[in-house]
Amino acid sequence: MRSVIVLSACFIALAVFGPMFAPYDPTAINIPNRLSGPSAEFPLGTDALGRDILSRLLYGARWSLGLAFLISLIGLCIGTLVGLAAAQGGKLVDWIVMRTTDTFLAFPELVAAVVIAGLLGAGTGSLVFALSITSWMRYARVARGIGLSLKSRGYVVQAQLAGMSPLAVARWHFVPALVPSLIVVWTGMFARAILGISALGFLGFGVQPPMPEWGTMLLDARIHLRSTPLQMIWPGMAVATCVLAINLCGDSLRDSLVERTS
Amino acid sequence: MMLAILGLILRASVVVTGAAVLTFVLLWFAPGDPAMAIAQARFATVVSADVVDQVRAEVGLDAGFWSAFKDWIGPLLVGDFGNSSVTGREVWPDMANAIGYTVPLALTGLAIGLAIAVPLAVLAARNQGSVLDRFAVGIASLGVAIPQFWLGLLLILLFAVQLGWLPAMGARSPTHIILPALTLGLGVAASLTRIIRSGLLEARGQGFLPAFRRRGINEAHVSRDHVAPHAAIPVVTVFGLELAFLLEGVVVVEVIFGRPGLGDFLVSAIFARDFPQVQAVVLLTALLFVVINLLIDIFYRVLDPRIGEHDA
Amino acid sequence: MLSVDRVSVNRGKTLALADISLSIEAGKTLAVVGESGAGKSTLIAAILGLLTPSKGSVTWSGAPVPSCRPALVMQEPRAAFNPALSLRRSVMEPLFARKANVPDNRLSRLCKGLELPTDLLDRKPGEVSIGQAQRVGILRALIDAPPLILFDEPLSALDAVTQKHTAKLIADLQAEEGFASLIVTHDLGYACAYSDDVAVLRRGRIEESGESSAFVAAPCTDYGRALRDAAIALGGLEIAA
């Protein structure tokens, strides 16, 4: 748990403060210096338009990490509400909600996101919408499962007898019990969001140039694969490193959760 | 049992219907004027409003939502996917052609993934805590963190550009499948290793195994008769998840390697706003997904009737 | 007064409760005795309004029971409290829900009556003994002065010494507060010693009912007699001379 908080704080710090360490404006075009390799002047080299890769990488964190954070939070909110509604609502509501969730789950997430983002028109807004709307389902399942098991707990019955509104019962008795499991799901979804954002960026559907998102940077790098192969190492490594870090935290969190409940 | 299975089939049918409606809703409410995009794609030039209207009527976009939906779903139920709104050709033959490139890729990728993951996971689980185990877990964790498209580019760089051993783009010869399949396969191997390993460890932790071992029952028999069924459940789950992974990966991998498969078909159709084609691919993917998950659910029920108690 | 009028409850295909009628006046106690599976929990749920009877009605002074805000003391004290919240917060929940306040010394008076040190309430449920937890449960039931309190096997989780003590505390508080109480239990000795009337529940039906002392002296049915004799043999019940 602590590691997740520390990691999130690091990512947030990177996204917010990283750009301050960027030596150049990430969108500053500098044709004479284009496609140069690593040097003292440009530590990671420059891209096809002469923009400094290190600066773009640092600014890119805002897009790749920041958007991922946003998307995973939106998914968390929608999913939890839906899951709790299913648990609280009685058999018919539960059935309808669950079939809706299954319907959304019928589409492989990335394929659906590609279609949605592509049809809505390339851009950050479409990206956020597409990835959010394809990611809430896992939270819903977890929230519903826990909600159903909590419904018959003694203290939940007592709260209902005391006359607490369903909203108050959810806030005081359901949500605290949900938090550990939801955070585990959230770490996984955060990682998926980073991968999704960069995949969509790579396909041209996501964050648009000149914005320095890591996936879009890889798209640029691909064109010049033969001439400056190094250029594609950095954005990919950035994505892989962040995703790996989150996954490791998520794993340790999941393990400690299993220990606690057994 | 039969009743439960029928219930699962009913559920799946509802989901497929919902998926079809959702697919149609998505495309219906997409912004921009599809008729204009189609006309422009078809005539490769800016077109007048008359031509756009003509295209609109021709493609059936001027009807209301429900009649357009009926027009679409009716033929679909008998297997007619309609005609491409850009080329005018039937959707199915082109899509079938694309599938012909995608299926071998997906299967080869899966095979490579299994060939790496199964032995690795089994060895890791058998020697839990050893250096090999830790290495396997580490490599697998790294593997799932690496974006597929980056891995593909790295492989192209290494094998095609630097070493020149393997071809990169296109699908002209049998060797063209190697790099894309390897890209897919390595990703599959990474996630399969993790899940198979933890499935095996969990099964091993079940109380009755040490008792069997004490009685001297052959280790292999224990593995086959008792560990395998318990490990089968998470592994079968994994196949369901890997299917999603494969479908997603295929889209990206085909674009990178320029293979004219279903992923490439889809992306081109999106760019051209060719609705019938997009709808066809999306619905087919969803159908495949639901059917395979249905089979997996049925398999679970047969294997362990206690599963599914909390399902709605 | 609590009025249960010809209540039947269907659980799936089986009849969990069949044609149950009983009544309790303010200040009085009715004990419902039965084996496990007899339908005691269903009866509680039906009275509290947690499930709707298929036939019959349950009212308090003519109105639906929830309107008088009845309280429930549960069998397993620790399950009755949210493990993440302090006992004080849980105890205050009925008032919290109503956005009402408790008169200043009521809480301390009740704590004294239940022999609970007030600083105990700042602890979490896992940090107190079962006996203390059960008394906190009773405290929560009493805090909003409900006219009706249901007790679902309130002593089962406690050891023998604590049982006697807690039973007495409940009786004393009832005398002070004047609530009507329904005690569900399998312990005939406890039931008869601490109630005015007793009803024997068997397979969803009331086998016999009547004044406790009359029942102990001369049960009307064979089943009732068997229960009473077993309770005497086990030493839980004594016939008053």
Q: What pLDDT band is residue B40 in, cutting at 50, 70 and 90? A: low
How far is it, in rounded angstroms, from Cα B230 to Cα B232?
5
Give φ, ψ of A225 to 5 degrees: -55, -45
Give φ, ψ of B64 to 5 degrees: -75, 175
A163/C97 CB distance under 8 A: yes
How far is it, in rounded angstroms, from Cα B243 to Cα B65?
32
pLDDT at B310: 45
The 3-state DSSP composition of chain B as helix, strand, coil percent (nearest 5) reads 80, 0, 20
B285/A111 CB distance under 8 A: yes
Query: Subunits with at least 3 CB pairs below 8 A relative to chain A?
Result: B, C
CB-count burial class (<10 Å; 0-12, 13-18, 19+) for C81: buried
Number of A:B CB contacts under 8 A?
A: 141
Identity of the amino acid at B25? V
Instruction: Kindly state whether A251 is in contact with chain B, defined as any CB-CB distance less than 8 angstroms.
Output: yes
Per-residue pLDDT of B190-202, as tens digits, reads 988 888 887 777 7
Per-residue pLDDT of C209-237, as tens digits, reads 888 888 888 888 888 888 888 888 877 66
Instruction: Kindly state whether C72 is in contact with chain A, defined as any CB-CB distance less than 8 angstroms.
Output: yes
Identity of the amino acid at B174? P
Highest mean pLDDT pick, A12-21, A208-217, B32-41? A208-217
How far is it, in rounded angstroms, from Cα A30 to Cα B82?
50
Instruction: Kindly state whether B28 is in contact with chain A, defined as any CB-CB distance less than 8 angstroms.
Output: no
Number of A:C CB contacts under 8 A?
A: 51
Per-residue pLDDT of B120-141, as tens digits, reads 888 888 887 788 888 888 899 8
Q: What pLDDT band is residue B235 in, cutting at 50, 70 and 90? A: low
The model's pTM is 0.81
- Comparing CB atoms, the residue among B150, B270, B311 nearest residue A118 is B270
Contacts of A158 in chain C (CB under 8 A): 72, 74, 80, 90, 93, 140
Instruction: Kindly state whether B207 is in contact with chain A, defined as any CB-CB distance less than 8 angstroms.
Output: no
Contacts of C90 in chain A (CB under 8 A): 155, 158
Contacts of A153 in chain C (CB under 8 A): 79
B146/A148 CB distance under 8 A: no
Task: Please answer whether residues B178 and B166 qualify as being in contact, where contact means their C-beta atoms are separated by less than 8 angstroms.
Answer: yes
Radius of gyration of chain C (CA): 18
Q: What is the 3-state secondary structure (H, E, C) of chain A?
A: CHHHHHHHHHHHHHHHHHHHHCCCCCCCCCHHHCCCCCCCCCCCCECCCCCEHHHHHHHHHHHHHHHHHHHHHHHHHHHHHHHHHHHHCCHHHHHHHHHHHHHHHCCCHHHHHHHHHHHHCCCHHHHHHHHHHCCCHHHHHHHHHHHHHHHCCHHHHHHHHCCCCHHHHHHHHHHHHHHHHHHHHHHHHHHHHHHHHHHHHHHCCCCCCCCCCHHHHHHHHHHCCCCCHHHHHHHHHHHHHHHHHHHHHHHHHHHHHHHHHC
B147/A86 CB distance under 8 A: no
Identity of the amino acid at B140? A
A161/C72 CB distance under 8 A: yes
Residue with tokens 């390697």: B257
Per-residue pLDDT of A211-262, as tens digits, reads 888 888 888 888 887 777 888 888 898 899 889 888 888 888 887 777 666 5
Residue with the bigger pLDDT between C27 and B219: it is C27
Give the angle A124-A125-A128 at the CA atoms, nearest 5°.
Answer: 85
Residue A72, pLDDT above cutoff 80: yes
| Rounded mean pLDDT, C160-174 | 88
How far is it, in rounded angstroms, from Cα A247 to Cα B144?
9
Best A161, A174, A179 residue to mutate vs chain C (most C CBs within 10 Å): A161
How far is it, in rounded angstroms, from Cα B199 to Cα B228?
9
Task: Tell me the residue length of chain A.
Answer: 262
Best A91, A155, A174 residue to mutate vs chain C (most C CBs within 10 Å): A155
Sign of CA dihedral A93, A96, A101, A102: positive
**DSSP type of residue B83:** B
Instruction: Kindly state whether A111 is in contact with chain B, defined as any CB-CB distance less than 8 angstroms.
Output: yes
Give φ, ψ of B226 to 5 degrees: -120, -40
Q: What pLDDT band is residue B59 in, cutting at 50, 70 and 90? A: low
Task: Please answer whether residues A161 and A102 qualify as being in contact, where contact means their C-beta atoms are separated by less than 8 angstroms.
Answer: no
Contacts of B258 in chain A (CB under 8 A): none
DSSP strand pairing (C2-11 vs C55-60): antiparallel
Q: Provide the ipTM.
A: 0.85
Instruction: Kindly state whether A22 is in contact with chain B, defined as any CB-CB distance less than 8 angstroms.
Output: no
Best B23, B156, B248 residue to mutate vs chain A (most A CBs within 10 Å): B248
- The whole-angstrom distance between B248's CA and the closest CA on chain A is 6
Residue C111, pLDDT above cutoff 70: yes
Please choose, from the candidates C92, C208, C190, the residue with its C-alpha nearest in 3D space to the C-alpha of residue C140: C92
Task: Please answer whether residues B292 and B240 qualify as being in contact, where contact means their C-beta atoms are separated by less than 8 angstroms.
Answer: yes
**DSSP type of residue C148:** E
Contacts of B37 in chain A (CB under 8 A): none
